[in-house]
């Protein structure tokens, strides 16, 4: 089933936000992590930016908004002018995939695959591999031990994780920069050994040969 984006935009036109939540929940989540002086916050799928505006006010730092719908960004631009936050909120718009590593490399750490859904346990978490290639630690729910084992390249959440556990993991990587750096370096090593293109292709070739015997 294909999504009719025009219908979706008409439904959400002029609405203050496109999902659940309230300013008080954004504030509560922000207050649960350690205070950072002049933080840089990446808001992916910012929409018209209700939470973007709130984060800019709470943090006093820089908030970068990304959304594929220019109509929503137009709404956010109007809100920014109204709130006089032009120096605090910036837009990237839709970025090409080859440009994404630049933003990953300018992040402290990443959020990989964070979901309770069982079906994702059997799929390759490409985002985690991308963080490893950029020497970045990350937080994820359980994945293959080929990728992460004993928290060697990132932090693993429990399968029944809650918001507090996510906040604690974020706090750990913010406060322990040496740990985050070490995990990033280990991830980069693993990418260049276990997940090197030549290694993966050789393993695939061997598997095919074994199947044909």
- Please, which pLDDT band fits residue 196 given cuts at 50, 70 and 90? confident
Return the higher-pLDDT residue of 98 and 58: 58
Question: pLDDT band for position 145 (50/70/90)?
Answer: confident
Residue located via tokens 């205070």: 35
Q: What is the pTM of this model?
A: 0.65
Which residue shows structure tokens 């920069």?
Answer: 177
Q: What is the reported pLDDT for 107?
A: 82
| More reliable by pLDDT, 125 or 165 | 165
Alpha carbon distance 79, 159 (integer Å): 39
Helix (H) or strand (E) holding 166: helix 163-175
DSSP classification of residue 192: T
pLDDT surpassing 80 at residue 88: yes
Residues 63, 89 contacting (CB under 8 angstroms) = yes
CA dihedral 194, 195, 196, 200 (to 10 degrees): 90
113-128 pLDDT, tens digit each: 666 555 545 556 788 8
Whether pLDDT at 41 is above 90: no
pLDDT value at 53 more than 60: yes
Where along the chain do the CATH 3.40.50.2000 domains lie?
A: 99-213
CB 143 within 8 A of CB 122: no
Report pLDDT for 184.
95
Does the domain made of 99-213 have the CATH classification 3.40.50.2000?
yes
Write out the residue limits of the CATH 3.40.50.150 domain(s) in the chain: 1-94
User: For position 114, what pLDDT does the model report?
Assistant: 64
How is the chain split among helix, strand and coil, in percent rounded to 5? 50, 10, 40
Contact 153, 123 (CB under 8 A): no
List the structure tokens of 103.
């933003």
Query: What is the separation, in whole angstroms, between the first and last Cα of the chain?
Result: 40
* The pLDDT of residue 2 is above 70: no
Q: Please give the share of the chain, as a percent, with pLDDT higher than 70.
A: 85
Fold category of 1-94 in CATH: Rossmann fold (3.40.50)
Query: Is-contact 154 148, C-beta < 8 A?
Result: yes
């Amino acid at each position: 089933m294909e999504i009719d984006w025009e219908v979706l935009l008409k439904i959400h036109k002029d609405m203050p936000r496109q999902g659940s939540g309230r300013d008080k929940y954004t504030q509560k989540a922000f207050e649960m992590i350690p205070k950072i002086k002049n933080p840089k916050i990446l808001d992916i799928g910012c929409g018209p930016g209700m939470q973007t505006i709130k984060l800019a006010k709470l943090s006093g730092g820089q908030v970068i908004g990304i959304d594929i719908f220019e109509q929503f960004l137009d709404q956010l631009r109007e809100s920014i002018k109204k709130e006089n936050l032009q120096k605090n909120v910036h837009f990237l718009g839709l970025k090409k995939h080859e440009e994404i590593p630049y933003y990953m490399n300018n992040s402290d750490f990443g959020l990989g695959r964070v979901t309770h859904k069982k079906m994702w346990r059997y799929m390759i978490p490409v985002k985690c591999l991308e963080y490893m290639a950029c020497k970045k630690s990350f937080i994820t729910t359980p994945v293959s031990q080929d990728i992460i084992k004993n928290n060697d390249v990132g932090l693993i959440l429990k399968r029944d994780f809650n918001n507090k556990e996510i906040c604690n993991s974020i706090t750990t990587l913010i406060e322990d920069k040496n740990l985050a750096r070490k995990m990033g370096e280990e991830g980069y090593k693993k990418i260049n050994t276990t997940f090197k293109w030549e290694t993966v292709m050789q393993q695939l070739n061997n598997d095919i040969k074994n199947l044909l015997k």
